Amino acid sequence: MNGVKWSPKIDPYKVVALYRKFMDGQADMADVDDVGIGLHLRVKSILLVAEWRLVCPECGREFQVSSSEPATNCPGPGCSFSIPREKYLASWRHRDLWRGKALPAFEEYYARYPVARTIGEKMVLIDTLVHSFHFDLVENLPNRCAANNLMEGSLKQVVDILDRLSGIQPENDRVFRETVDLMWRRRRGQLEPKGKPRP
C-alpha cells in the first residue's frame, strides 16, 4: 500500500512460551527481547497512527501527515515520497492500529522498555502492557483488551491466552480477572452505565 508498512501483531503463543520459560528460570535476554521488541515495534506503529505520523518508506524520516490536505510530501532532503490522505487512512484501517482508549498503557511501554535493563524489569513491563484494557472514559468501564491491538486472535481467544499469562505480578493478575469479568458483563449488556449491576 504505497510502500507504507506497519509492524504486525505478534504471535500470542510466542508470549505463552516466553512466560513458561521465564517461570522455569530459563529465559535469557534474547528470549525476552524477541517478544519485547516485537511488542515495542507494534506499539510504535500504534503511537504513530494516533498522531497521524509516518516513517517515510523511502528515506526513513518521520513526519506528520496532514489530515486536511489531499496529500503530504515527505520533508526529507531530496526525497520525492508523497502520501495521499486516503492512502494513509487505508494503510491502517481495520488493522487494530487505532489506539482506542488504551493510549497511556502504550505510551508507558514505549517509553520504558528501551531503558529497562534486567530480564525481570522487562517482563514486568510486558506483563503490564498485555494485561491492559481500553476503558470507556465516560462510564469508566473496560470494553476491550489492549492486547487485541498487539496479538493475533479474537477478543475471546486473546482473553483465554492472557489468563494463562500469570504469575509475574499476582496483584495485577487478580485485577485482570476482575476487569475481564466486568468487561464480559458489560458486553453482554448486564451492566448499567456507571458500572452498577442490574438487579
What is the binding site for Zn ion (CB under 5 A)?
A: 56, 58-59, 61, 74, 76, 79, 81
Smallest gap, in angstroms, from Cβ of residue 66 to Zn ion?
15
Cβ closest to Zn ion, residue 16 vs residue 79: 79
Smallest gap, in angstroms, from Cβ of residue 53 to Zn ion?
13
In eight-state DSSP terms, residue 193 is G
Give the cell for residue 16.
505463552
The closest alpha carbon to 149, from 164, 133, 173, belongs to 133
Cβ closest to Zn ion, residue 6 vs residue 113: 6
Contact 158, 147 (CB under 8 A): yes
Cβ closest to Zn ion, residue 79 vs residue 124: 79
Cβ closest to Zn ion, residue 54 vs residue 146: 54
Smallest gap, in angstroms, from Cβ of residue 1 to Zn ion?
16
Indicate the helix (H) or strand (E) that contains 72. Answer: strand 71-73
Place of cell 526513513: 60
Largest Cα separation within the chain, whole Å, is 66
Smallest gap, in angstroms, from Cβ of residue 86 to Zn ion?
19
Cβ closest to Zn ion, residue 74 vs residue 146: 74
Calculate the alpha carbon distances from 194 to 81, 153, 190 in Å.
48, 29, 12
Smallest gap, in angstroms, from Cβ of residue 41 to Zn ion?
19
